[in-house]
Chains A and B, each alone.
Chain A
Amino acid sequence: MKKNTEDFLVSLYTTMYKIRNFEEQAIKLYRQGHIRGYFHPYLGEEAIATGVCAAMDGKDYITSTHRGHGHCLAWGADLKIMFAELLGKENGYCKGLGGSMHIADYTKNNLGANGIVGSGVPIAVGAALGISIRKEKQMVSTFVSDGGSNIGSFLEGLNLAAAWKLPVLFVIENNQYAVSTRIEDSTAETELYKRGIGFGLESVRLDGNDVLEVHKIAKSFIERCKNGEGPFLMECVTFRKSGHHVNDPGLYLPKEKVDYYKLHDPLLIGKKHLIELAGLSEIDIVEIEKVAMAEIKAAIDFAIKSPEMSEENFLKFVEEY
Chain B
Amino acid sequence: MVNVLNAARELMYREALNEALKEEMDRDDKVFIMGEGIAERGGSYKVTEGLLEQFGSKRVFDTPISENGFTGAGVGAALTGMRPVVEILFVDFTMLILDQLINQAAKFRFMSGNTARVPMVLRTQGGVGNGLAAQHSQSLEAIFYHIPGLKLVMPSTPFDAKGLLKAAIRCDDPVIFIEHKLLYMNKGEVPEEEYIIPLGQADIKKEGKDLTIIAWSGMVPKVMEAAEILMKEGINAEVIDPRSLVPLDKMTIINSVKKTEHVLIVQEAVRRGGVGSDISSIIQEEAFDYLDSPVKILGGLNIPCPFNLNLEKMVVPQVEDIVRAAKEVVYSE
Residue of A whose beta carbon sits closest to that of B306: A97
**Residue numbers in A under 8 Å from B40 (CB-CB):** 180, 252
Given contacts A96-B308, A96-B311, A179-B41, contact A321 B64 (CB under 8 A): no
Given contacts A97-B306, A309-B311, contact A102 B65 (CB under 8 A): no
**Residue numbers in B under 8 Å from A179 (CB-CB):** 36-37, 41
Residue contact B66 to A101, C-beta cutoff 8 Å: no
Residue contact B133 to A147, C-beta cutoff 8 Å: no
B136 within 8 A of A: yes
Which among A37, A38, A114, A117 has the highest number of chain B CB atoms within 10 Å?
A37
Residue contact A37 to B130, C-beta cutoff 8 Å: yes
Residue contact A311 to B136, C-beta cutoff 8 Å: no
**Residue numbers in B under 8 Å from A115 (CB-CB):** 92, 133-136
Complex alpha-carbon distance, A184 and B306, angstroms: 37
Given contacts A37-B130, A318-B301, contact A186 B62 (CB under 8 A): yes
Taking a contact as CB atoms closer than 8 A, the residue among A38, A88, A117 that contacts B308 in the complex is A88
Taking a contact as CB atoms closer than 8 A, the residue among B37, B62, B93 that contacts A116 in the complex is B93
A178 within 8 A of B: yes
B200 within 8 A of A: no
Residue contact A37 to B133, C-beta cutoff 8 Å: yes
A167 within 8 A of B: no
Chain A 197-254 residues near chain B, CB threshold 8 A = 252
Taking a contact as CB atoms closer than 8 A, the residue among A94, A114, A117, A180 that contacts B41 in the complex is A180
- Return B34 CB to nearest CB of chain A, in Å: 12
- Return A103 CB to nearest CB of chain B, in Å: 10
B309 within 8 A of A: yes
Residue of B whose beta carbon sits closest to that of A96: B308
Complex alpha-carbon distance, A99 and B312, angstroms: 12
- Return A304 CB to nearest CB of chain B, in Å: 15
**Residue numbers in A under 8 Å from B37 (CB-CB):** 179-181
Residue contact B307 to A97, C-beta cutoff 8 Å: yes
A98 within 8 A of B: yes
Complex alpha-carbon distance, A116 and B133, angstroms: 12
**Residue numbers in B under 8 Å from A97 (CB-CB):** 133-134, 306-308, 311
Complex alpha-carbon distance, A115 and B62, angstroms: 20
- Return A140 CB to nearest CB of chain B, in Å: 21
- Return A26 CB to nearest CB of chain B, in Å: 14
- Return B219 CB to nearest CB of chain A, in Å: 20
Residue contact B306 to A314, C-beta cutoff 8 Å: yes
Residue contact A102 to B311, C-beta cutoff 8 Å: no
Residue contact B68 to A317, C-beta cutoff 8 Å: no
A152 within 8 A of B: yes
B196 within 8 A of A: no
**Residue numbers in B under 8 Å from A147 (CB-CB):** 64-65
A256 within 8 A of B: no
- Per-residue CB contact flags for chain A residues 283-310 toward chain B (1 = under 8 Å, else 0) read 0000000000000000000000000110
Complex alpha-carbon distance, A115 and B89, angstroms: 12
**Residue numbers in A under 8 Å from B69 (CB-CB):** 152
**Residue numbers in A under 8 Å from B36 (CB-CB):** 178-179, 181
Complex alpha-carbon distance, A88 and B309, angstroms: 8
Given contacts A96-B306, A180-B37, contact A185 B311 (CB under 8 A): no
Taking a contact as CB atoms closer than 8 A, the residue among B96, B303, B304, B308 that contacts A309 in the complex is B308
Residue contact A98 to B307, C-beta cutoff 8 Å: yes
- Per-residue CB contact flags for chain B residues 214-257 toward chain A (1 = under 8 Å, else 0) read 00000000000000000000000000000000000000000000
B310 within 8 A of A: yes
Residue of B whose beta carbon sits closest to that of A98: B307
Residue contact A314 to B314, C-beta cutoff 8 Å: yes
**Residue numbers in A under 8 Å from B129 (CB-CB):** 37
Taking a contact as CB atoms closer than 8 A, the residue among A88, A89, A117, A309 that contacts B131 in the complex is A88
**Residue numbers in A under 8 Å from B304 (CB-CB):** 321
A187 within 8 A of B: yes
Residue contact A311 to B311, C-beta cutoff 8 Å: yes
Residue contact B309 to A36, C-beta cutoff 8 Å: yes
**Residue numbers in B under 8 Å from A37 (CB-CB):** 129-133, 307
Residue contact B135 to A101, C-beta cutoff 8 Å: yes
Complex alpha-carbon distance, A116 and B302, angstroms: 21
- Return A246 CB to nearest CB of chain B, in Å: 12
Taking a contact as CB atoms closer than 8 A, the residue among B64, B68, B133 that contacts A186 in the complex is B64
- Return A20 CB to nearest CB of chain B, in Å: 24
Residue contact B131 to A99, C-beta cutoff 8 Å: yes
Complex alpha-carbon distance, A136 and B323, angstroms: 58
- Return A177 CB to nearest CB of chain B, in Å: 11
Taking a contact as CB atoms closer than 8 A, the residue among B66, B67, B92, B307 that contacts A99 in the complex is B307
Can you add 5 more A-B contacts, CB < 8 Å, to A96-B306, A101-B136?
Answer: A99-B133, A116-B135, A314-B306, A314-B314, A318-B303
The 8 lowest CB-CB distance pairs between A and B, nearest first, are A99-B307, A37-B131, A115-B135, A36-B131, A186-B64, A88-B308, A150-B64, A96-B308
Binding site for A on B (CB under 8 A): 36-37, 40-41, 62-69, 92-93, 96, 129-136, 301-304, 306-311, 314
Q: Enumerate 30 A-B pairs (CB-CB under 8 Å) in ascending A order.
A: A37-B131, A37-B132, A37-B307, A38-B132, A38-B133, A94-B307, A96-B306, A97-B306, A99-B308, A101-B136, A102-B133, A102-B307, A115-B133, A115-B134, A116-B92, A116-B93, A116-B135, A117-B65, A148-B65, A151-B64, A151-B96, A152-B68, A180-B40, A252-B41, A308-B308, A308-B311, A314-B311, A318-B302, A318-B303, A321-B304
